[in-house]
Structure 1
Amino acid sequence: MLMDETKQKIGIIGGGQLGKMMILEAKKMGFYIIILDPTAYCPAHSIADEHLIADFDDEEAIRELAKKSDIITYEFEHIGVEVLQDLESEGYDIYPAPKALANIQNKYQQKELLKKYNLPVPDYIKAITKEDIKIAGEKFGYPVMLKSCTGGYDGKGNFLIRSESEIKAGYQALGDGDNLLMVEEFIPFDKEISVLACRNVSGEVVTYPIGENKHQASILIETKVPADISSQVKEEALKLGQEVIELFSGVGIFCIEMFVTEDGRVLINEIAPRPHNSGHYSIEGCVTSQFANHIRAITGLPLGSTDLVRPSVMRNILGEDGSKGEAKVMGMKEALEFSNVKVHNYGKKLTKPTRKMGHLTATADTVDKASQAVLEASKLVKIGCEF
């Protein structure tokens, strides 16, 4: 008798927008979903079959999630890896593997592993003291990028040091010695790009069309696909993406963020072992979205085509400046007057400045047309407290 493949129960650590978008795809395939998130009305709450309300470092709750689930995955990497390693040793299926998560969580360890296998990265050194930062400044030349080795996201945990006089300020801003730090040479890049790679439990690997990313204050604001890069850069970036996911024996979606220099070099910046903001375009832009392939990958299903249906541009909707409190949405009707624009409202109850509250995607015959449409629509949609 054949087993119903959709009887598998998937446990997701995290109920934010990434978890929500995973669930939307999982539900198309009939899976039962349990989430763990401390926020009662997080974005994924309304569509999950079960919601364990608990902190991300609550080992007892994570164990409960494991007992209720056949497979565990996660929507962000800043979680306690030790309990996941213990659960894996006890026979639970966790994807991506806790070993990969442990190496990626610590940016210094991440870079050390990439360097060991001769994958191109910016030069870097570990920094324990202010004197170590000074040595790095002398070695690399200013500016240099000071980073927390763990816990950073959306520019948090980064501090650009432009001269020796800013060392003290950077050191204090990133914990004043309480956090593990590293210093990277500053790369005067021409473009920032990202490669999404997906690997399933059978070892099948697919890569997505390369996204060209634009940041504001270290927060992703826009991704254009296909990226405006040479065929040589495209070939190198896709090769690196495949090498990275194979190196980590990754199962699920991995995002590899990269710098492209003016002379055409491609350097790996950071890796995320999960669906990524820069891959949101794939929902409308590709045959199979990053979220659908992530679910396929972890449940042992064949991976879907990643072909680009049409040129696509994704633009984030951030919380309005000065707004902190209950979220209110304005301008969705006006934005949807653009027939080729889709609005994704994550349903977060509270807003604050620069918080990712949603995104817009436009598809068109050309990247320029999609970019123009999504830019105009983004001027209309606002998420804040008062208007």
Structure 2
Amino acid sequence: MTQSSKSTVLGVLGGGQLGRMLIQSAINYNQDIHILDPDSNAPCKDLCQKFSVGSLKDFDTVYAFGQACDIITVEIESVNTEALIKLQKEGKKVYPQPEILKLIQDKREQKQFYQENNIPTAEFILTEDKSEVIHNKNFLPAVNKLGKEGYDGRGVQVLKTEADLENAFDAPGLLEKLIDFEKEIAVTVARNEGGDLVVYPAVECAFHPTANLVEFLFAPAEISDEIEEKAKEIAKDVILKLGMVGILAVEMFVTKEGDVLVNEIAPRPHNSGHHTIEANFTSQFEQHLRSVMNWPLGNPDLRCPAAMINLLGEEGFTGLAVVEGQEKALEEKGVYIHLYGKKLTKPFRKMGHVTVLDEDVSKLKAKAMKVKELIKIKSI
């Protein structure tokens, strides 16, 4: 960081809550951030130095945006990679690299990458349409995933019996063997352009039973030292084999036999790392900034055990958002509320999160449950 950070413009494709929290870290370094987002009222709108409205999937829009930036990164994978490839060829730094984004955009290619690189993952079959899924009914129980456009629980169907086959996707996708796992964990790893690499402690995820979104997260994960080390080594292996610069969240299953299997990866700050703002020495958002700017990477260690609760829009409420129970929750020691600036709520929309800290893990879990019941996102 020998030159002034102010002289380098970082462009971010996407202006949602992840971009908002990235900007909150960048402010400490006087780092200029330009944002492109299709929503004129995106959470980043009033926080960045320049905000542009436009499609992240349109070649001309992304290319024009990138020309005014020195380094370009993303807060969502669903972007026009061809424009990023052209910008990269013209001398712009794009992290994560466009070819990696392109691979991750297609779950079929992602799974084949694991297979070709000896990265442990669930057994799978590629399918072109619904008829091929039905043809492979003997592979059930399985998870049917769309190859492209699946996001936040969309594009995923669990097919346990032949009766479920009517729910299969009639589009290119894959059938992935349903894993009878013990735990779902995630490990975040970051790497800068110089090749420096850091790994965060594993966290444990508990998913909402119907929305297929993380409802709770606990750090550290309650796993053995052996499983922890195995998960960290796998996460490092993934980012190194990708050759990726930036921050990478690696979601994994821990099986009842003690194996660790990669489920999916996200080449950006991720929901499984939100607790790091308060709980770790370096948050995932600052680490993302450091990695794409090629600054020295920060200490990823935990300061304190933590829980993270996603604040989702309540079922049955759509419209202008109202937050209930916030003041009561703030009476609890070690509670940190993050609202994302979204004016409109709808069922299961991510509206914010809460991080809870406590040295006593049993007290931590009880406090997290209490906070979850206190704070509700409804509408007028």
**TM-score class normalised by the smaller sequence:** over 0.9
Aligned to 1:170: 167
Aligned to 2:226: 232
Give the aligned residue type for 1:9: V
Cα 1:378/1:211, change in 2 over 3 Å: same
Give the aligned residue type for 1:102: K
Aligned to 1:364: 358
Matched, 1:185 2:177: yes
Preserved CA contact (<8 Å) 1:9 1:71: yes
Per-residue CA shift, 1:137-192, capped at 9, x if unaligned?
31x3x32111101111222101111212321x223xx3x3xx32111110010100
Distance 1:38 1:237 in 2: 36
List aligned pairs for 1:1-387, cutoff 5 A. Answer: 3-138=3-138, 140=139, 142-167=140-165, 169-171=166-168, 174=169, 176=170, 179-216=171-208, 217=210, 218-386=212-380
Distance 1:375 1:316 in 2: 12
Q: Which moved more, 1:19-28 or 1:83-92?
A: 83-92
Give the aligned residue type for 1:182: L
Preserved CA contact (<8 Å) 2:37 2:55: yes
Preserved CA contact (<8 Å) 1:224 1:367: no
Distance 1:7 1:130 in 2: 52
Q: Which moved more, 1:368-377 or 1:267-276?
A: 368-377
Preserved CA contact (<8 Å) 2:334 2:358: yes
Give the aligned residue type for 2:141: P
Distance 2:269 2:275 in 1: 12
Q: Alignment identity in percent?
A: 38
Q: Which moved more, 1:368-377 or 1:204-213?
A: 368-377
Per-residue CA shift, 1:190-230, capped at 9, x if unaligned?
10000000001101000101110000121111110010011
Per-residue CA shift, 1:271-323, capped at 9, x if unaligned?
10000001001000000000001001111100010110000110100001111
Give the aligned residue type for 2:167: G
Tell me the secondary structure at the aligned position of residue 327 of structure 1. Answer: strand
Give the Å deviation of 1:379: 1.4
Distance 1:233 1:317 in 2: 30
Scaled by the length of structure 2, the TM-score of the pair is: 0.97
Distance 1:3 1:187 in 2: 49
Tell me the secondary structure at the aligned position of residue 321 of structure 1. Answer: coil
Tell me the secondary structure at the aligned position of residue 240 of structure 1. Answer: helix
Tell me the secondary structure at the aligned position of residue 195 of structure 1. Answer: strand
Give the Å deviation of 1:101: 0.7
Give the aligned residue type for 1:25: S
Distance 1:65 1:27 in 2: 21
Give the Å deviation of 1:324: 1.0
How many residues get paired?
A: 377
Give the aligned residue type for 1:143: P
Cα 1:204/1:318, change in 2 over 3 Å: same
Preserved CA contact (<8 Å) 1:225 1:367: no
Tell me the secondary structure at the aligned position of residue 47 of structure 1. Answer: coil
Preserved CA contact (<8 Å) 1:146 1:170: no
Give the aligned residue type for 1:79: V
Runs of 4+ that moved beyond 4 A: none
Give the aligned residue type for 2:176: E
Give the RMSD, CA atoms, in angstroms: 1.2
Preserved CA contact (<8 Å) 2:279 2:357: yes
Preserved CA contact (<8 Å) 2:5 2:30: no
Give the Å deviation of 1:382: 1.5
Distance 1:202 1:99 in 2: 19
